[in-house]
Structure 1
Amino acid sequence: MYAKCSSMSEARQVLEGLPTRNVVSWNALATGYVQTGEAYQALKCLEQMEIDGIRPDAVTYTCMLKACAMIRAIGRGKQIHDEIARQELLQNDTILCNALVDMYAKCGAFSEAQQLLEELPCLDVVAWNALVAGYVQDNEAEQAMDCLEQMQDKGILPDQVTYICILKACSMIRALEKGRIIHDNLVKHGLLESDIVLGGALIDMYAKCGALIEAQEVLMGMPSRNVVVWSALITGYVQEGEAMQALECLDQMQHDGIAPDAVTCACVLNACCHCGLVAEGEALFVNMNSKYGLKPSPECYICMVDLFGRVGHLEKAVRLAQEMPYSESLSLWHMLLGACRKWVDVNVGEWAFEQAVKLDKTDGSAYVLMADVYAAAGMPEKAKQIETMRIRNNAQMVK
């Protein structure tokens, strides 16, 4: 009970207080450690079991393999594999076989995982999914897609998890045609009708491949939509430099009754900044707090300071910098100094430089930018003074 409730210290005390301990009680404790992310503690349970003379079973080894996968303990995982093979536990235990493949895949030992898939009769789609996910995690997109063909050759039908991984692989290498084939298969088997996660993966694939019309068609054809699928489409438009389309999606999303999250807002703000959409960016920034109840992140503040600075609204940029609850970011002051250089505003530049030097007097970028502000204003002597200050403070030049 304590282990299932993540109260591991209490669970350990209960186990140690038992007059006799068996494999079931140890398995419960080890499983609890794995569920709470304490892989090393789980592996220590196996050592203590052996000291107590308690023989581990398939459940124990499944748990230990999960622990090894969590911390990429490939050496310990191989030792456990050898012990499992010695006890001939792999012949009919699908769960244990799957855990073994998953351990090798998550440790990046793909040849061992692949060999198991070829040798063991008890493996199912879960094991193949573990290998596919491992390849995707290691950015081996083409190998992941090869696994799909191997699965089908062996008569193993892919499931939603398989397709989500393969779609991610397609997006990684912009394999649009392969993604379209997957889309056709999903429609053919009716898998898109009720799986919003799978639909989101498909939208993300099309968006990252630049096929935004197809991404939008998938989204509009979904019976239900959430912030994740909308964000995938919006991110795609932003990546393609389509800020106005991203803003339109933001409006449509709200008409759907779905409020954007902080990540979506930050993404659209970034697009507004790069496209110079001041009014739209400012409105979104204000709405984050007043309309959506979101606390703008430091990145959002910096983005708005950059936006105001690009168009010469330095008073607004200064006001935001003063309001920013966490102003210990050199990037903020670099943005403002860059704007002062562009618009030749010495007063604001000196203030921003002062803030930057307070944070880090060895920050070479601040000195270079301030000297540039003075140079742009026709004040070469001031620029020389800044260079002297830089040398005195041992601030390194930016290469």
Structure 2
Amino acid sequence: MGLRIFNEMLRSGVVPNEVTMVAVLSACCVIGDLRLGRLVHGYIEKSSVECKLNMLNALMDMYVKCGCLNIAREIFGRMVVRDVYSWTIMTDGYAKKGELEVARKYFDALVEKNVVSWNAMIAGYSQKNKPKEALELFREMEETTLRPVEGTLVCVFSSCAQLGRLDIGKKIYHYYVDQKRVKPSVKLANAFIDMCAKCGSIDAAVEFFTRMPDRDLVSWNSMISGYAVHGYTEEALNLFKQMQRLGPRPDDITLVGVLSACCHGGLVIEGREHLKNMKKVFDIEPKDKHYACMIDLLGRVGRLEEALELIKRMPMEPDEAAWGALLNASRMHANVDMGKLAYDKLLGLDPNDSGNYVLLANIYATEKRWDDVSMVRSMMRGRGVKKTPGLSSIEVDGKSHEFLVEDKSHPQSEEIYKILNDILLLLQREGYVPKPP
């Protein structure tokens, strides 16, 4: 509507001013139309409209939001005067692109940061799986006079979930939301539920979900997914039934949670029914992620041939998730031929994923095919593929402990390895045979 009025304005001979052009550039941002944005930029350069700070910021913002960071950087470099918004636009652009080091340089160069600047950098760290950095930056923000807003806390709860730091998340929620320093919202409640579920505290998630005065689609999806991931199949499916009676209409994410619940519960008939009903009942076209859930379900219960048939019948090209589910099932059920088939497909899709090589080597090792195990390892070395070391963390008495494979940096590592060896000896006495490294 605004762009149409602008077009009529030009046709009638009215010369737009800076305010008009900023509004037009904002409209280009909203619709993500780079071609139109370039045309507007060209008009500005040819017209008599003076390019002041607000106009240049609007131009940068348009290019950033349309994915042209290089042009935004050129404009930024030519600016004689910059304000907090100029620096924040560049910080946000590079953070969203995942170029966090560059984003941090813009952020650190900004003397007087505002809430948007802090949010951009914290969100960048959180979304790119750097939760420690996100929480460290949040602590720095708390030392300023600025108060976090909803978006800040959503990213903080996500970071707490990634680290398994439920204790920190609960304290932050209590301090800011319970004590009304930040206005409570459904979005914040959803983030808190998601954090509780991902940290394994299903009871806390359920209690919070039950007490919510208002719930949206994300609320229901988070709770169904939380149940499913932790193996509470019956609870997840019952909540889905309740959602159909009381809640919003399910979407494709809801059905991922439902199919995941069936997968963890080994419910093949129910899983097939839900996959079929997606289009029939909810008018939702199944996506590759839904098929991957069903393939995983069939594979887990040992129906590998049916899983392969489903892959062949997929209306889209099978992706890594589909073939990965079949490869993992082949390892579980020691099916070498099926595993090799899935591995070959995965190799064509992503030859640098170390996990696929390791799974195939494990399948061969189960069958004591040591020459083939050596062949896989040689292939990894030849292609420069290195196994990603396993990392886990656990929270004990409010403190997070991280463990990396073969890492001995923990102050109690000697005691930890001794107990681990004692447990391994007990398992071996009961008949456990460890897999070769």
Q: TM-score interval w.r.t. the shorter chain?
A: 0.5 to 0.7
| Cα contact 1:269–1:281 (8 A) shared by 2 | yes
Residues 260 and 223 (structure 1), Cα distance of their counterparts in 2 relative to 1, 3 Å cut: same
Say if 1:168 and 1:46 are closer, same or farther in 2 by CA, change over 3 A: same
Could you tell me which of 315, 318, 325 is aligned with 1:326? 315
Provide closer, same or farther for how the CA distance between residues 205 and 192 of structure 1 changes in structure 2, counting only shifts above 3 A.
farther
Indicate which of 103, 119, 125 corresponds to 1:110.
103
- Matched with 1:137 is 127
**How much has 1:112 moved relative to structure 2?**
2.8
Distance in 1 (alpha carbons) for counterparts of 2:228 and 2:157: 20
Does residue 165 (structure 1) correspond to residue 158 (structure 2)? The answer is no
Matched, 1:18 2:18: no
Cα separation, partners in 2 of 1:173 and 1:286, compared to 1, 3 Å: same
Percent of matched pairs sharing the same residue: 27
Distance in structure 2 (CA, Å) of the matches to 1:207 and 1:157: 27
**Given residue 64 of structure 1, which amino acid in structure 2 is its aligned partner?**
L
In structure 2, the CA distance between the partners of 1:65 and 1:105, relative to structure 1 (3 Å rule), is farther
For residue 103 of structure 1, report the CA deviation from its aligned partner.
3.9
**Alignment match, 1:241:** 231
Alignment match, 2:62:
67
| Unaligned residue ranges in structure 2 (runs of 5+) | 342-347, 350-437
Match of 1:30 in 2: 25
Q: How much has 1:274 moved relative to structure 2?
A: 4.3
Q: Using the alignment, how far apart are the partners of 1:235 and 1:304 within structure 2?
A: 15
Partner of 1:232: 222
Q: Deviations over 1:88-108 (max 9, x none)?
A: x52xxx655643543454453
The DSSP-based 3-state class of the residue aligned with 2:146 is: coil
- 8 Å Cα contact 2:91/2:120 also seen in 1: yes
Instruction: Report the alpha carbon displacement of residue 29 of structure 1 after superposing the two structures with TM.
Output: 3.4
The offset of 1:195, in angstroms, is 0.8
Counterpart pick for 1:213 among 170, 192, 203? 203
Aligned partner of 1:326: which letter?
A: P
Question: 1:58 and 1:154 mapped to 2: Cα distance?
Answer: 27
1:49 aligns with 2:44: yes
1:277 Cα deviation from its structure 2 partner: 1.5
Indicate whether 1:195 and 2:185 are aligned. Answer: yes
**Aligned-CA RMSD value:** 4.2
Q: Provide the C-alpha distance between the structure 2 equivalents of 1:124 and 1:259, rounded to a whole number of angstroms.
A: 38
Q: Shift of the alpha carbon at 1:147?
A: 2.1
Conservation of the 8 A alpha-carbon contact between 2:61 and 2:72: no
- Report deviation, 1:284: 3.2
Q: Kindly provide the CA deviation profile for residues 66-96 of structure 1, in whole angstroms up to 9, marking residues without a partner as x.
A: 1242255555434433444x24x52xxx655
Say whether the 8 Å CA contact 1:243–1:275 is kept in structure 2.
yes
How far apart, in 2, do the equivalents of 1:256 and 1:191 lie? 32
Matches within 5 A, 1:1-399: 1-3=1-3, 11=6, 15=10, 18=13, 20=15, 22-39=17-34, 41-43=36-38, 45-70=40-65, 73-84=68-79, 86-87=80-81, 90=83, 98-103=88-93, 105-106=95-96, 108=100, 109-117=102-110, 119-120=111-112, 123-190=113-180, 194-289=184-279, 291-297=281-287, 299-300=289-290, 303-304=293-294, 307=297, 326=315, 329=318
CA distance in 2, matches of 1:327, 1:144: 37
Cα deviation code 1:230-251 (max 9, x no counterpart): 2112222322333233223323
8 Å contact from structure 2 (residues 25, 62) kept in 1: no
CA deviation map 1:283-318 (0-9, x unaligned): 434544555444444554565466467668899989
CA deviations on 1:11-66 (whole Å, 9 max, x unpaired) are: 55863773645434433433332222134653564454234353212331221221
CA contact (8 A) 2:87 2:107 kept: no
CA distance in 2, matches of 1:115, 1:218: 38
- Normalized against structure 2, the TM-score is what? 0.61
> Take 1:205 and 1:303, find their aligned partners in 2: how far apart are those partners?
23
Offset, 1:144: 1.7
| Contact 1:31–1:42, Cα closer than 8 Å, also in 2 | no
Distance (whole Å) between structure 1 residues aligned to residue 208 and residue 77 of structure 2? 47
